[in-house]
Structure 1
Amino acid sequence: MNLPNKLTVFRIILIPIFILILTIPYDWATITTMTVVLPVNWLMAAIVFAVASATDFLDGKIARSQQLVTNFGKFADPLADKLLVITALIFLTSFHVVPAWMTAVIVIRELAITGLRTLIVENNGQVLAAQMPGKIKTFSQMFAIFFLYIKNIPFIYFGFPVGDILLWIAVIFTIYSGIDYFWQNRYVFSDGM
């Protein structure tokens, strides 16, 4: 297994650690700065999330620069992203930070694209690689989630809810990229219609 694929597997392994950290009762320890109360386990989860997100950037960069792109990587890398983002959003929804409808839109799009990827592989043996709108969606989701877990520090002191703004951008690109993927790959459905 090459290094990019190892990084992808490592990202998947970080997900249960992320879950474990967030299942610790959040009121056991907090960091208070000015008007923000940040549970320690949220900060720890944000750090784990940031490390996992960094592996997403690194595995793709290494794979492209060293010609180590594999079908496993094309499949597992976006799957790892989806699992990480969906897990983080479910917890944020349970903490009443992210509206349930936003999480639902993102989860539905991710499941739909996963199904589309499967159809494309079955139809022509190719793996659907990420396009730019999907990359923007992933980038904005990951930064939004990170800032929401750290309660928008330091931007909150300037009245700038960066996490919320990035989440709206993520939702917009989630919808746009989902429509774009289906439109570009509509041939998959042409034989049954």
Structure 2
Amino acid sequence: MKKENIPNLLTLLRIAMIPIFILILSLPGRRDLHWVAAVIFAVASFTDYLDGYLARKWQVVSNFGKFADPMADKLLVMSAFILLVGLGFVPAWIAALIVCRELAVTGLRLLLVEQGGTVLAAAMPGKIKTFSQMFAIIFYLLHFSLLADITLYIALFFTLYSGYDYFKGASFLFKDTFK
């Protein structure tokens, strides 16, 4: 296997883990399996870090990776938050704000590409957002409720702030919208 394929394979592995994660977490009355879901989610989250690290280290950034990596992250995190709402762990309004932000930023990135612009790289607030969202999810699955709640509100703050930051950075797209 060529090393330049490994980051994309890690992204595909993360995508393949999502239905397994959903299935395990959706089994009715199986709170005893939440730790299994936490491990699957943690491994999938680690592939997010690892694929990006390897792609940069080996300088094998691909168009597939630019598209699929953030999409895989969003699918994983949004699935988890929706399931956590169903389990009664996360308030629906918080999950809705997170999902709306993720979809809005994805749409913004598509607009930038369509306008011939470059893909917006994740700034530090976006990285903190991702990190805190993933840890909040893991803490909920491990039933560390207080730690999960604190991390969730940190994630919510950085989710909204980084969304604002992305739109502020791309405000030139909308300069003629309200004339």
TM-score range, shorter chain: over 0.9
CA contact (8 A) 1:22 1:41 kept: yes
**Cα distance, 1:125 vs structure 2:** 4.7
CA contact (8 A) 2:25 2:33 kept: yes
Give, in whole Å, the separation in 2 of the partners of 1:122 and 1:2. Answer: 27
Task: Name the residue aligned to 2:75.
Answer: 83
Task: Name the residue aligned to 1:31.
Answer: none
Task: Name the residue aligned to 2:163.
Answer: 178
Task: Name the residue aligned to 1:131.
Answer: 123
Task: Name the residue aligned to 1:114.
Answer: 106
Q: Given the alignment, which residue of 35, 41, 44 partners 1:52?
A: 44
**Cα distance, 1:24 vs structure 2:** 1.5
Q: TM-score, normalised by structure 1?
A: 0.86
| Most deviating of 15-24 and 126-135 | 126-135
Max radius of gyration: which structure? 1
Task: Name the residue aligned to 1:189.
Answer: 174
**Cα distance, 1:132 vs structure 2:** 1.3
**Cα distance, 1:191 vs structure 2:** 4.0
**Cα distance, 1:164 vs structure 2:** 1.0
1:82-116 per-position Cα deviation (integer Å, ceiling 9, x unaligned) = 11001001111011110011101100000100100
RMSD: 1.3
Give, in whole Å, the separation in 2 of the partners of 1:182 and 1:122. Answer: 16
Structure showing the higher helix proportion among its residues: 2
Give, in whole Å, the separation in 2 of the partners of 1:7 and 1:125. Answer: 27
Give, in whole Å, the separation in 2 of the partners of 1:105 and 1:178. Answer: 11
Task: Name the residue aligned to 2:141.
Answer: 149
Structure 1: gaps spanning 5 or more residues: 28-38
Give, in whole Å, the separation in 1 of the partners of 2:176 and 2:65. Answer: 29
Give, in whole Å, the separation in 1 of the partners of 2:140 and 2:75. Answer: 18
Task: Name the residue aligned to 2:13.
Answer: 10
| Most deviating of 182-191 and 142-151 | 182-191
Give, in whole Å, the separation in 2 of the partners of 1:184 and 1:83. Answer: 24
**Cα distance, 1:122 vs structure 2:** 0.2
Give, in whole Å, the separation in 2 of the partners of 1:80 and 1:71. Answer: 14
Q: Which runs of 4+ in 1 moved over 4 A?
A: none
Amino acid at match of 2:151: L
What percent of counterpart residues are identical?
A: 58
CA contact (8 A) 2:26 2:83 kept: no
Amino acid at match of 1:70: S
1:163 equivalent to 2:163? Answer no
